[in-house]
Chain A
Amino acid sequence: MTPVILLTGFLGSGKTTLLSRLLNSENFKDTAVIVNEFGSVSLDHEMVRHADESIITLGNGCLCCRSQSDIAIALNDLRRRRAESEISFQRVVIETSGLADPVPLLKALGTDLVAAMDFELAGVVTVVDAVAGLRTLDQYEEARRQVAMADQLLLSKTDLTSDTQGILARLASLNSSASVSMASQWDGVYPRGSSVFRQELAGQSVLHSQEFGTVSIIRETPLLAVTIPLFLEGLSSQLGERLLRVKGLICLEESPDRPMVVHTVQNMVHVPQWMDAWPSADRRSRIVLIGHHLPQSWPGLLLDVLDAEARSVAAHATVQSR
């Protein structure tokens, strides 16, 4: 599978500068790029200094507002050209326009059957301007959603300011589960899979900004497998568009040695995956919800009730079968 990285960030945050640097580095030398620009004249792709022709520009319109098949068409075009030995690449970066909402993009990617045959989502990288970022986040919901959906946050223009405490605190309040690095130092090594949970989630800690926030659920005892789809269905049916993302590393009673990795984007559930082993000695189930106006205790309680109900049904079935 070829990993696809969604590179996002508000207008002027430094996405193109970052991409240009990365494409000339060893880690990203075999990278195909899909550039989405907002405006009638495409410029960004000209600014990306790259040696070969593996750059596709989707111009004149924000990718998240266009038909969902645009991404699939672009990915399929890359795949065809690779199959015909016209180009070669080992990963794809989709650089969104600065106004793009990552949610519909991720849903479009995640539900495209053709794209899913060759590509997998590596994650969302969001660039945030250290100088203007606070003001941008205050003013624009698109910018807040870009941060809320990120797996990796990159702070750009840190050479122009020494005061990054405010912006770092704001980023943590919007998305406490993402890793944060300096854009100028980031080498493209992506925090994958379970490493997104490396941040300490202390108990039921909840960090909330005015709108967007993170709810963390940690459970010591393994959960029944049937509880998980019910839980995700309950979240989607009751929280609706408030919920932007769920990430989970879950210990199942039926498979305690192989944690299940769950990713959802709003109401779309990615195919769950099982790791070969736990990445650390910590075998607790950890689930992170990202969204806006999320209730703090309700999701964890829903999980507990559904697990209790599943156990009650299983116990009843056992009695009946005797």
Chain B
Amino acid sequence: MDKRHDLWSRLHDLLALSMQLWGVENAVVSAPLDGVIEISAGRGQVIRITENDLPIREFARWSVCLVGSRPKFANSVLGILSTTRELLGADASPGLPLRLGVMGVGQ
């Protein structure tokens, strides 16, 4: 399995599990096809995730788009997760921003 296909396959599985995590289990995540994953979110809503090949791909590697709306860009898988979650309106259990502690932990 080539690395790109491997990434897409794992991303598909992660998104499918994320639907359960977010409590939107009625959403259906399509198998990756030609660099596209689609999420059918019910009521005719479809979220389409594609990989960009733009010159600025380091900053806009992924595109997450509610079909019919303007795409949102994400620079990593974390951005895909947060954008997809936002588009699904699955904010019942909000996350926490990471904080850096200053105290060490003894070894």
Could you tell me which A residues sit within 8 Å of B by CB distance? 1, 3, 107, 109-113, 115-116, 119-123, 192-194, 229-230, 232-234, 236-242, 261, 263, 265-271, 273, 275, 295, 297-298, 301-302, 304-306, 308-309, 311-313, 315-316
The reply to whether A119 and B103 contact each other, CB–CB distance below 8 Å, is yes
Given known A116-B104, A121-B106, A237-B78, contact A111–B7 (CB-CB < 8 A): no
Q: Cβ of B10: which chain A residues have Cβ within 8 Å of it?
A: 301, 304-305, 308
Q: Cβ of A268: which chain B residues have Cβ within 8 Å of it?
A: 98-101
Q: Cβ of A233: which chain B residues have Cβ within 8 Å of it?
A: 78, 98
Question: How far is it, in angstroms, between the C-alpha of A192 and the C-alpha of B107 when the chains are bound?
Answer: 5
A-B contact pairs, 8 of them (CB 8 A): A1-B106, A109-B103, A115-B103, A121-B103, A305-B11, A305-B77, A306-B78, A309-B77
- B102 in complex: contacting residue of A3, A116, A313, CB < 8 Å: A116
The reply to whether B17 and A234 contact each other, CB–CB distance below 8 Å, is no
The reply to whether B97 and A267 contact each other, CB–CB distance below 8 Å, is yes
Question: How far is it, in angstroms, between the C-alpha of A315 and the C-alpha of B106 when the chains are bound?
Answer: 36
Given known A1-B106, A122-B106, A230-B76, contact A295–B11 (CB-CB < 8 A): no
Question: How far is it, in angstroms, between the C-alpha of A189 and the C-alpha of B3 when the chains are bound?
Answer: 47
Number of A-B contacts (CB under 8 A): 145
Q: Cβ of A308: which chain B residues have Cβ within 8 Å of it?
A: 3, 6-7, 10
Asked whether any CB of chain A lies closer than 8 Å to the CB of B45, the reply is no
Q: Whole-angstrom distance from the CB of A7 to the nearest CB of chain B?
A: 15
Could you tell me which B residues sit within 8 Å of A by CB distance? 3-4, 6-7, 10-11, 13-14, 17-18, 20-21, 57-58, 61, 76-78, 81-82, 85, 93-107
The reply to whether B106 and A242 contact each other, CB–CB distance below 8 Å, is no
7 closest residue pairs by CB, A with B: A193-B107, A110-B101, A267-B96, A237-B95, A116-B103, A116-B102, A120-B104
Q: Whole-angstrom distance from the CB of A196 to the nearest CB of chain B?
A: 10
The reply to whether B81 and A234 contact each other, CB–CB distance below 8 Å, is yes
The reply to whether A1 and B99 contact each other, CB–CB distance below 8 Å, is no
Q: Cβ of A269: which chain B residues have Cβ within 8 Å of it?
A: 98-101
The reply to whether A309 and B7 contact each other, CB–CB distance below 8 Å, is yes
Q: Cβ of B13: which chain A residues have Cβ within 8 Å of it?
A: 301
Closest to A262 in B: B105
Q: Whole-angstrom distance from the CB of B24 to the nearest CB of chain A?
A: 13
Q: Whole-angstrom distance from the CB of B65 to the nearest CB of chain A?
A: 19
Question: How far is it, in angstroms, between the C-alpha of A130 and the C-alpha of B92 when the chains are bound?
Answer: 37
